[in-house]
Structure 1
């Protein structure tokens, strides 16, 4: 008889433990998980490329749940996701899409990279610098897109460098890891590369000196190992100066339009520097 009561007691404890609800805050406090960082950490020495054939058309990429990236001017791209989220990078209010984007990111190195009077219809305005004296820190999910940032320093007149004045914004959507370097003023160290993780698409300034020289910027782009590199922020030197920094391991192409639609399936198998119309 005592053994039967013991069995009933153990069964009751198991039943309560199994069916008792989890605390309501457990899910609410969990931070998004970066797939780009996780994959990079699992294979730190890998070169991340796609096994897809590069000749797949933009129409096929769109049908495959692709992301459309349109160059609007300077450092501003419009990123449009399969879920209907639109993001304008380094938004200054001058280069605007036809309708207000869902999200805008900004950097403050120069006034051409931000505005303090954005359209009120924009739902999320993300400053790449800290407004409270602390570095900007984003872990934001908007629709089908996870947005995070990695801060870097910027030059500040004759006073040297201002810590954390720029953000590299990273957009994780449709299985892609898309990075925008912003107004990068210095080469990255290992801690930056670890925080960034894997990138499939990289938007990189090619001005040749206002951010960094072509050689320094090419080293950063090479280390990030993106399959698709989209130049931006070209003022002064010809685009060929930047392209010349990359050897036969990279393909180079000039687009006939300002947009490209890309998915995991349509990423080039060999790293490609693709110059969109208007750069």
Structure 2
């Protein structure tokens, strides 16, 4: 310890300064890691201890090593059931139906269903009691719904949005649901009524396939939906929630100026990280 009235020995001050800098860096890293834990995860999810993908550009800095990318295998199978309902099947056999209701039948008993309540064609008050997980996009008790669920090779979460309610707004009344399966991030926009904020887009993360309502009246207007899909910038857009071929063609004429339009013969399509299209694609699936 320095004695009052005497100078510090040569070399002590630089050492002390270096220690102070190292302490500041350590505290900063701890603060960053704390913020990362507090923030909601987004696609593609990062998982502690999972086997990493062989992508050098995505490797975390040496010396941290706490978060690694989960390895993606297999293909996700997607079937358009009609209206706003899709059957999602994972390589491990997890089955999910979106906007599950009494209006659209399902070919299998799903393990998970998601629902929104803008209209009764998007939810039911009496889901099959054999369904293991019923995820409502609204909170019956008020406030935003919060879902985050991992089942085998599937990760599911919701992003709350607002809906029109008569002449007013029901805040957090519905949700967009995000599914990560086989390394593919799928976003179902639900009954979206408004443009997405930068915060919405940040929480969504990287989206590979977006399921978009394109009626242009009951949900977001056509200009707003086109703007939203440009902001999400997913490689694949699949339209849903349209009521006539005229309505679908009106949407295709707008977004099709910037995307390759493909019309599938089957309502079922499969995706993997390796088979996602290199050219932005607008994929039309026939409803069942």
1:242 to 251, 267, 273: 251
Q: Does 1:167 align with 2:175?
A: yes
1:191 to 176, 196, 199: 199
SS in 2 for 1:244: helix
Q: Does 1:211 align with 2:216?
A: no
Query: Paired residue for 2:106?
Result: 97
2:83 to 71, 74, 84: 74
Unaligned runs of 5+ in 2: 1-36, 47-72
Q: Does 1:140 align with 2:124?
A: no
SS in 1 for 2:121: helix
Q: Which deviates more from structure 2 when the two are superposed, residues 29-38 or residues 214-223?
A: 29-38
How many residue pairs match? The answer is 225
Q: Which one has the largest radius of gyration?
A: 2
Query: Paired residue for 1:115?
Result: 124
CA shift at 1:212, angstroms?
1.5
Query: Paired residue for 1:130?
Result: 139
Query: Paired residue for 1:178?
Result: 186
RMSD: 2.0
| TM-score, length of structure 1 as denominator length | 0.76
| TM-score, length of structure 2 as denominator length | 0.74
Name the CA distance, whole Å, in 2 between partners of 1:181 and 1:278.
18
CA shift at 1:35, angstroms?
4.0
Name the CA distance, whole Å, in 1 between partners of 2:39 and 2:231.
28
User: Could you say which structure has the greater relative contact order, defined with CA pairs below 8 angstroms and 6 or more residues apart?
Assistant: 1
Q: Which deviates more from structure 2 when the two are superposed, residues 204-213 or residues 231-240?
A: 231-240
CA shift at 1:139, angstroms?
1.2
